Amino acid sequence: MDQVTTQIDPIIREIALEELAKTADLRREMTMEIDGADYDREHPGWRDRYTSFFGDLVRGGRGQFFVAEIAGQLIGSAGVYKLVNHRSSIILAQSAYVSTVYVKPQWRRRGIARALVQQTIAWAQGNGCEVVRLRTSQGGRPLYEVLGFQQSDELELRF
């Protein structure tokens, strides 16, 4: 008997606040994959701080989290929030930051990350942002470039 493979399209939606803690699992998977960092071991209590940070942003209307879901399971996520800095406070030029874009490996190359990022961009535009920023892994860079992101002239100093 021939086996039939069906394409299951995920639901892309805004997260319910009570689900936010579930995205911490995706964040942990992402950091483990990118650089082997185990937040649970290296940063005790990070999950509570993560949920509080993003929860406060969503409740306050300054951010939103989007998830990809298949059969009740979260398989991807992306967050976006308005930055507070000198530009937003002095000249009222609002910018947004995209964070925690991740799709489980078995669900990649199906347009899910793209759909999630497009939701974050739409949210930022709809909330008066002039610029959207993010940090990317090498693997994610091609997606962001296709969506119009460009290398900026920001620099970073680490200690």
Please, which residues have CB within 8 angstroms of residue 5's CB and are 6 or more apart in sequence?
Answer: none
Do the domain assignments include residue 83?
Answer: yes
Question: What pLDDT digit, counting tens, does each position of 49-106 carry?
Answer: 999 999 999 999 999 999 999 999 999 999 999 999 899 889 989 999 999 999 999 9
Mean pLDDT of the chain: 92
Do the domain assignments include residue 154?
Answer: no
**H-state helical runs in the chain:** 20-35, 39-42, 46-59, 86-90, 112-126, 141-146
Counting residues of the chain whose pLDDT is more than 70, the rounded percentage is 96
pLDDT for the residue 7: 64
Instruction: Count up the domains in the chain and report the number.
Output: 1
- 57-81 in b/e form (b: 16+ CB < 10 A) is bbeeebbbbbbbbeeeebbbbbbbb
Do the domain assignments include residue 57?
Answer: yes
Alpha carbon distances (Å) from 130 to 81, 82, 95, 119: 13, 10, 6, 16
pLDDT for the residue 5: 42
Do the domain assignments include residue 157?
Answer: no
Return d(Cα 136, Cα 1) in angstroms, integer. 44
pLDDT for the residue 2: 41
- Contact, 95 vs 105, CB < 8 A? no
Question: What pLDDT digit, counting tens, does each position of 103-124 carry?
Answer: 999 999 999 999 999 999 999 9
Do the domain assignments include residue 4?
Answer: no
Supply the range of the domain harboring residue 47.
11-146
Return d(Cα 133, Cα 151) in angstroms, integer. 10
pLDDT for the residue 37: 87
Do the domain assignments include residue 108?
Answer: yes
Do the domain assignments include residue 153?
Answer: no
- Residue 153 vs residue 123, higher pLDDT: 123
CATH of the domain at 47: 3.40.630.30
